[in-house]
């Protein structure tokens, strides 16, 4: 893959998990999008969601591996499905690419390995193993790794070192709070300057509000590395509730996260596009959506190329 790929405007895909739920997925426990991999009847929904982004203009799709992290699968009593679910996610992304007949890149979603939006304070060796085991499964299918919604420099350092084993580039997705810092209280500049290496394709604000993206775009611009966003459309900006396993078990129906986080219905594709134009003026080249965005948002972004 060309290490300079993101130096020009590129369109990423929309969110996966919430879109699957909107299309009819019934989650079990807190597996959410991982349910669509374990339960074969939902596999087509994954392919269709990938295809919708591609047809809308996405040049990159991400594997549906955000909730196939080991911790989440252990909590939901399906640890034995870890390898299968991660592999199936990659197979479905590859199938969508094949059906689209487009030269779409596949980014391997390598998420924070414990709770989303929070710093992983576990022992380094445990975090490293979790990153390595998931990366090992998805590596054969992908063009690059995407560190998906990461909350601390320590986690970035561990993941970056793990990815060196696979000799592939990576895009780094930082979760940012209203104060402009990571949940670890580190600044964007501190983290990028300390951990960036020659394999970094760029850095983006990951699963954050439009307001936070706009507020931090000046800092991103000064880093002299391709940057951009995958914005969420949650109604709640902060604090974002951490949806921990509730001991419901795999056989229980899980609640949709938007029951606690809501959705910004006012941000349609055209509004999203107008927002993106402002961030592009500040130098952003990597544009995409996260939770509660869909192909209509990507279609409007694709007009900006």
All structural domains of the chain, each given as residue ranges with its CATH number in brackets, are 5-304 (3.20.20.330)
> Which percentage of the chain shows pLDDT scores above 70?
94
Q: What is the band of 66 on the pLDDT scale with cuts at 50, 70, 90?
A: very high
Which pLDDT band, with edges at 50, 70 and 90, does 249 fall under? very low
Are the beta carbons of 125 and 156 closer than 8 angstroms? no
Q: What 3-state class would DSSP assign to 300?
A: helix
- pLDDT (mean) for 254-278: 87
User: Residues near 62 by Cβ (< 8 Å), separated by ≥ 6?
Assistant: 12, 13, 16, 93, 106, 107, 108, 109, 146, 148
- For every residue of 162-192, DSSP letters joined together read HHGGGT--EEEEE---TTSB-TTS-BHHHHH
The lowest-confidence range among 31-45, 121-135, 246-260 is 246-260
Q: CB under 8 Å to 64, separation ≥6 — which residues?
A: 16, 20, 33, 34, 36, 37, 46, 89, 92, 93, 109
pLDDT of residue 243: 57
Better-scored residue on pLDDT, 119 or 243: 119
Residue 170's pLDDT is 98
Identify the CA nearest to 108 among candidates 155, 52, 48, 172.
172
Top pLDDT among 280 and 237 is at 280
Q: Which helix (H) or strand (E) holds 204?
A: strand 200-208
Q: What is the pTM of this model?
A: 0.95
d(CA 209, CA 97): 29
Distance CA 226, CA 214 (A): 16
N- to C-terminal Cα separation, the chain: 20
Q: Answer for the pair 167, 139: CB distance below 8 angstroms, yes or no.
A: no
Looking at residue 241, its pLDDT comes to 62
Q: What is the pLDDT of residues 94-119, one digit of tens each?
A: 999 999 999 999 999 999 999 999 99
Beta strands (DSSP E) in 121-177 are: 144-150, 170-174
* pLDDT at residue 255 in the model: 64
Question: How would you list the strands of the sheet with 200-208, edge to edge?
Answer: 10-11, 286-289, 227-231, 200-208, 170-174, 144-150, 105-111, 60-62
| pLDDT band at residue 250 using 50, 70 and 90 as cut-offs | very low
As a whole number of angstroms, the longest Cα–Cα distance in the chain is: 49
* Residue 270: pLDDT band with limits 50, 70, 90: very high
Token pair 């060309």 is found at 2
Asked if pLDDT for residue 253 goes beyond 70, the answer is no
Nearest to 242 by CA among 260, 262, 229, 254: 260
Tokens of 182: 């990571």
3-state secondary structure of 292: coil
């Amino acid at each position: 893959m060309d290490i300079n790929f993101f130096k020009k405007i590129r369109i990423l895909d929309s969110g996966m998990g919430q879109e699957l739920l909107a299309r009819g997925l019934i989650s079990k426990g807190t597996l959410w999008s991982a349910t669509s991999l374990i339960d074969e009847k939902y596999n087509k929904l994954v392919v269709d969601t990938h295809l919708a982004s591609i047809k809308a203009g996405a040049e990159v799709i991400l594997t549906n591996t955000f909730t196939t992290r080991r911790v989440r699968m252990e909590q939901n009593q399906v640890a034995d499905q870890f390898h299968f679910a991660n592999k199936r996610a990659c197979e479905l992304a590859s199938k969508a690419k094949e059906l689209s007949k487009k030269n779409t890149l596949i980014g391997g979603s390598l998420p924070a390995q414990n709770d989303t939006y929070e710093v992983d304070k576990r022992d380094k060796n445990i975090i490293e193993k979790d990153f390595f085991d998931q990366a090992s499964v998805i590596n054969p299918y992908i063009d690059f790794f995407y560190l998906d919604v990461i909350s601390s420099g320590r986690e970035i350092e561990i993941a970056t070192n793990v990815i060196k084993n696979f000799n592939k580039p990576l895009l780094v997705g930082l979760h940012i709070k209203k104060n402009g810092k990571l949940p670890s209280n580190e600044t964007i500049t501190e983290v990028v300057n300390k951990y960036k290496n020659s394999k970094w394709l760029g850095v983006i604000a990951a699963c954050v509000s439009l307001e936070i993206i706009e507020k931090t775009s000046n800092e991103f611009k000064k880093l002299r590395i391709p940057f951009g966003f995958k914005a969420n459309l949650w109604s709640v900006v902060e604090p974002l509730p951490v949806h921990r396993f509730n001991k419901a078990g795999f056989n229980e129906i899980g609640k949709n996260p938007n029951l606690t986080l809501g959705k910004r219905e006012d941000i349609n594709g055209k509004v999203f596009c107008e927002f993106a134009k402002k961030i592009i003026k500040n130098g952003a080249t990597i544009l995409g959506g996260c939770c509660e965005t869909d192909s209509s948002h990507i279609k409007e972004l694709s007009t900006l190329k």
